[in-house]
Amino acid sequence: MTIDEIQDEIISEFSLLEGDMEMTIFYIMELGQKLPEMNAVDKTEDNIVKGCQSKVWLTASTEDEKVHFAADSNTAITKGLVSLLIRIFNGQTPEAILSADLYFMHKIGMERFIGTQRSNGFAAMIKQMKLYALAFKTKMEVKR
């Protein structure tokens, strides 16, 4: 699936909650619970996303020129938020990640249920994922 197709799928899922704040937050926390377990050895200071109020660990690797992310957080909501980004970006090419226009947040009204601090942290997660993609893109170009 493309990044836009995945975003549209997320928008569709959230629309079923009809803007119910409590249900939406519960759903985000549930998504975080489904995030694959991150290796404990990767939960280092170097892998912490800077700019997040909560602790968020994020790693990335490539396989067949596609980027794969792993993440965890010490809070349920933040873990759910990072799981959405992983769902969107996992298995995509560095170019697709770098050129992605993330619109799902506005469509699901995310600003209504996460505060300014979490919004800043969410932006930091996106920035870190795009930095990984840029590094992998550069590395791939050097190999060619």
Among the listed residues 35, 52, 67, 110, the single catalytic one is 52
d(CA 133, CA 144): 17
d(CA 99, CA 75): 29
- 3-state SS string over 17-64? CCCCHHHHHHHHHHHHHCCCCCCHHHCCHHHECCCCCCCEEEEEEEEC
What is the helix, strand, coil percentage profile of the chain, to 5? Answer: 60, 10, 25
Using a 10 angstrom Cβ sphere, with 0-12 exposed, 13-18 middle and 19 or more buried, the burial of residue 48 is middle
- Is residue 52 flagged as an active site residue? yes
Catalytic residue numbers read 52
